Amino acid sequence: ASGGASITVRDILAASQWQPVPQRGYQCVSCCRVFPTLWSIKTHIQHSSQEGYSCKVYYRRLKALWEKECKEQEAAAPRV
């Protein structure tokens, strides 16, 4: 499935929309660290295992769940 799919900026923004951030920036919903730019959080996610975090795994799993949910909703939608 999408286990190897890359995490996009869109995925990061979608995941973070439910997390209020006390300061300007973007919060990693996996480890809760706050980053000043989208580029810095995306870099963090890509290299999180080198920092001792599993954020990349978390975001990949989250993306796979979203894709599964979207497919289920499409399949359940009435066809016109």
Extents of the domains making up the chain: 10-76
Supply the pLDDT for residue 5: 66
**Using 50, 70 and 90 to split pLDDT, how confident is the model at 75?**
confident
- What does the pLDDT read at residue 18? 62
What is the pLDDT at residue 20? 59
Find tokens 């900026």 and name the residue: 9
Task: Give the range among 23-27, 37-41, 54-58, 69-73 with minimum mean pLDDT.
Answer: 23-27
Model confidence, pTM: 0.62
How many residues belong to the chain?
80
